[in-house]
Structure 1
Amino acid sequence: MTSPRHALLHTLLLLPALAGGTAFAQTRGDTLALSFDAARARMIERSDKLAAAHAAVESKELQSQGLKGLGGPSVSVSGLAYAYNANLNLDLDPLNQRLGQLGQALPSPIQGLISQMPIPQLPNSYTINRHDTGSNASVSAVWPIYVGGATDAVRGFVSAQTREAQADADQAGHEVDTLLVQRYFGAQLARRAAALRAQAERTIAQHDSAAQKMLAAGVISRVERLQASAAYEEARRNARKAEDDAALAAVALARTVRADGSVAPQTPLFLISTPIEPLGYFIDSALTRHPGLDKVAAKKSQAEQLHEGEEALRRPQVIAFGTRQIKGGNADWVAGLGVRWTLYDSVDRDALSASSMKKVEQAERTDAQARSDISLLVERNWRALENARRQYLEMKASVELAQEVVKLRTSGLREGTSTTLDLIDAETNQAKVLTERAQAANDYVQALAQLLESAGLSDKFSDYIARADVRVN
């Protein structure tokens, strides 16, 4: 027969069980509901990081396009129009003196005759002025027939820079994909944790209120009442912290997809319960698709082109040239070939050539090290993914145990074999275990994103979502 004390406990403390999957926030008019694929499409369209990377690629492509004709002939037209005014002052005093000396040298009869005839004197000085206007125009052409391969080296260097910019853009694409996974599913986890903590707070609040009534009825001690109150305060603190974490995660996701309001993720945390492709599959993919290797290859190509440019300076250069006035009739013109070959230079070309070859060797060594590092990174991420998968599956027993303990404590409280604090502890532990399992699912998702990024397969993430057979709703 149930005692009055047990009946009161049964009435006050048998409250609704912890509900899973409760929504954290009500959907509002300014909330944008996005699946992962929709969020990714929005991010790709609006990401400043991707736009900057694509602009760098386009800049190099335009530069490469502009240098396609490097080494070909160039033709230019020049013209000028002019006007001038020139003055020349002549001093005639020396000439006057000379004329006087000549008169004295003549025979006496002639001198007498000249003395009877007045001869005007020249002025002391005379100014000559010239002024005119005119114009001139000509067309010129220069054609580097042979420059030792320098132009090909320049074009090859710029082409390699374009490939490097493309590798950087590809890497940026992988990085923003991984960042989106972190923030999208991080927001899912934070929202779920906040929902569990909020539900736990509400349930424990009801127990706290019931404990106050039981204390007033004299069926529990003051210590038990204080224990229930302390548990409720802890639940409140945990709920507020989880709510703040969820709000911050939501802001981060909204900033990532450039949303004005809040974003409600629609794709749940997921897991593929069976192992995915073997490690070798991802290592092979990384060694052919990782943007870091493409960048190293582009650096090596740049070093090779710089070496070829150094070698081109050792070879002779042949240039054709010509120019002609633009006018009718007998126009002036000139045309010819120029040859230049440096026989001696104060710069040590052998040392510079050896230096550029060391750059090539550096790129080769970097490529070997990068392949080793990337393979190790892929293996680490693959093992982290497997550990997260096993951890999630193994936590099933912990969840079932936590649920059974709640049922047991609820029944024990009704039968008088458990206390209020026992039930509160069981419900708190159940919320903790459910949160930890959701965290394990998020660990799996994040490890998958890291693995795909390291293997150069970030764009395949949605394919794995479609393959998932476990979804944490």
Structure 2
Amino acid sequence: MKLNKVNIKIFLFLCFITTLSNAQNITLKEAYNLMLSKNGEAKASSFEVKAMEEEHKATKGLRLPTIGVSGTYMHLDNDITVDLNEERNMVGGLLSITNPADVLGDWNFELQEKNLGFATADISMPIFAGGKINAATKASEIKLAITETKHKIKEDELTINLINYFFKLKLAQEAVKLRQDVYNVILLHNDQANKLFKNGLIPEVETLNAKVALSNAKRELLGAEKDVELAKTAVKNLIGINSLEGLKSNFNKPTIVKSVEEFKEEMLTENNQLKTIEKNQELAGIGLKVEKSDYFPKVGISGTYILGTDNLPLVDTKWFVGLGVEWEIFNGFQREHKIKASKYKISQVEQFDKQARLNLSTYTEKLYNTMQKELEQYESLNADEEFAKKLKFMRTRAFEEGTGTSLEVVDATLKLSEIKIHKIKALCEYNIAYGELMVLTGKTRSFLNQN
């Protein structure tokens, strides 16, 4: 009985530890690492890379010989025989033998019994295939590189989503703090208004203004709290965790460290989508070489070693080797058309590359302009915040001295809170645009280390 109690305590303790480990306060970098290890799409993409690695290893086997063993056992309907009795009689006549059958015997020979079997070991190896083996090996290497780059693209897509969800959750949490501050200020103002009304210093209408403002502030606070829960769900689902308490990373302060042209140059040299297109160009070139290889002969060697026979008297050799050549002279112009098709594929990929570069340059400019716009907004809101703070202070003092109205205090409080919220929104949008730009230019780790 005591043992059972101990086990229950240990179990409850482990559950408590597990709950604590699941309920996390994480940085953006920690969220990124968790996502790569837990997200289903990221894991599926990594398995695709592993599968392609094995296929690449299999392709290398084309250069090696193929070795195998085989065995056959057969039952024929009759023995295989050769009847030479007529020839025997002719020979007997030439030799003046009166009864050839008695003298020369039966010339009906059995060559092969109807039950027979044999086993062999075989080896074959291509010597020359017109360049197809080299092309196949190179194509497999390129396909592996493409798969690895596609995996990076999938990670980039998930990372961009994570940055978006993460900072929107951060925005929602900051909005809750601001809404809570506004609610606390208006609650205090409401209490002051009620006291002043009871002392006959202000009319009842001023308390009504405070009550309406308090109700609105409460509603905005509850709405902001719901936004946090929704944003948390999005982050948890993307990362693949069960619980998320809060975020430890802060917004990067807006700043422009490079010109748009520098960002464009990095985009056109480091972007993974362009790297995939480049690899597809190489693959299309390999495809052209494969089609041209059909003009050349195929040469290979083969050998067989007879491991054993059963009732096979005609086979007296133990092994044999051979050299084979196959050369297709004409195949109905198939090769010519396939070569033209391969050339069109090369042209197709070139056009994809040209358009992708144009699209990425345009998108880089869009993200850069977003960063600039949010930087300007943030700097402008910084100045507005100072004025709003001063206005709120003056309106509150005027109300307390009886020279201002409750409506003016509420209005000043709300103006200050809206400026702060717009400021946080500018920070959020800047960080999302900056993060995406860094990811697309291959600087994910650098961005994560900044947070």
TM over 0.5: yes
Specify the alignment match of 2:48 in structure 1. 56
Specify the alignment match of 2:86 in structure 1. none
Specify the alignment match of 1:284 in structure 2. 265
How many angstroms does 1:416 deviate by?
A: 2.2
1:70 partner SS: helix
Alignment of 1:361 onto 2:361 = no
TM-score normalised per structure 2: 0.80
How many angstroms does 1:279 deviate by?
A: 2.5
Say whether the 8 Å CA contact 2:252–2:450 is kept in structure 1: no
Alignment identity in percent? 23
Distance (Å, rounded) in 2 between the aligned partners of 1:372 and 1:355: 26
- The 5 A counterparts of 1:9-158 are 31-81=23-73, 135-158=117-140
Specify the alignment match of 1:303 in structure 2. 284
Alignment of 1:231 onto 2:223 = no
2:359 to 348, 360, 373: 373
2:425 to 436, 439, 446: 439
Say whether the 8 Å CA contact 2:272–2:440 is kept in structure 1: no
How many angstroms does 1:422 deviate by?
A: 0.9
Greater Rg over alpha carbons, structure: 1
Distance (Å, rounded) in 1 between the aligned partners of 2:323 and 2:201: 115
2:414 to 422, 428, 434: 428
Distance (Å, rounded) in 1 between the aligned partners of 2:33 and 2:302: 56
Distance (Å, rounded) in 2 between the aligned partners of 1:307 and 1:280: 36
Relative to structure 2, which stretch is displaced further, 166-175 or 405-414? 166-175
How many angstroms does 1:405 deviate by?
A: 1.1
Say whether the 8 Å CA contact 1:293–1:370 is kept in structure 2: yes
Q: How many residues align?
A: 396
Distance (Å, rounded) in 2 between the aligned partners of 1:400 and 1:133: 106
Distance (Å, rounded) in 2 between the aligned partners of 1:172 and 1:400: 44
Specify the alignment match of 1:388 in structure 2. 374
Specify the alignment match of 2:149 in structure 1. 167
Greater fraction helix = 2
Distance (Å, rounded) in 1 between the aligned partners of 2:270 and 2:447: 15
Distance (Å, rounded) in 2 between the aligned partners of 1:32 and 1:76: 58
Contiguous gaps of at least 5 residues in structure 1: 1-27, 89-129, 466-473
Say whether the 8 Å CA contact 2:201–2:402 is kept in structure 1: no
How many angstroms does 1:252 deviate by?
A: 2.1
2:161 to 171, 179, 201: 179
TM-score normalised per structure 1: 0.77
How many angstroms does 1:420 deviate by?
A: 0.7
Equivalent residue letter for 1:386: Q
Q: Deviations over 1:57-105 (max 9, x none)?
A: 12111111111121432122112345678699xxxxxxxxxxxxxxxxx
Distance (Å, rounded) in 2 between the aligned partners of 1:87 and 1:270: 92
How many angstroms does 1:304 deviate by?
A: 1.4
Say whether the 8 Å CA contact 2:254–2:427 is kept in structure 1: no
Distance (Å, rounded) in 2 between the aligned partners of 1:272 and 1:262: 27
Distance (Å, rounded) in 2 between the aligned partners of 1:44 and 1:321: 49
Say whether the 8 Å CA contact 1:409–1:423 is kept in structure 2: yes
Say whether the 8 Å CA contact 2:254–2:430 is kept in structure 1: no
Distance (Å, rounded) in 2 between the aligned partners of 1:37 and 1:142: 54
How many angstroms does 1:432 deviate by?
A: 1.3
Say whether the 8 Å CA contact 1:85–1:131 is kept in structure 2: no
Distance (Å, rounded) in 2 between the aligned partners of 1:415 and 1:191: 36
Q: Structure 1 residues 391 and 304 mapped into 2: Cα distance closer, same or farther (>3 Å)?
A: same
How many angstroms does 1:227 deviate by?
A: 3.1
How many angstroms does 1:321 deviate by?
A: 2.4
Say whether the 8 Å CA contact 2:306–2:319 is kept in structure 1: yes
Q: Deviations over 1:320-344 (max 9, x none)?
A: 2232322499335443222222222
2:124 partner SS: strand
Say whether the 8 Å CA contact 1:406–1:426 is kept in structure 2: yes
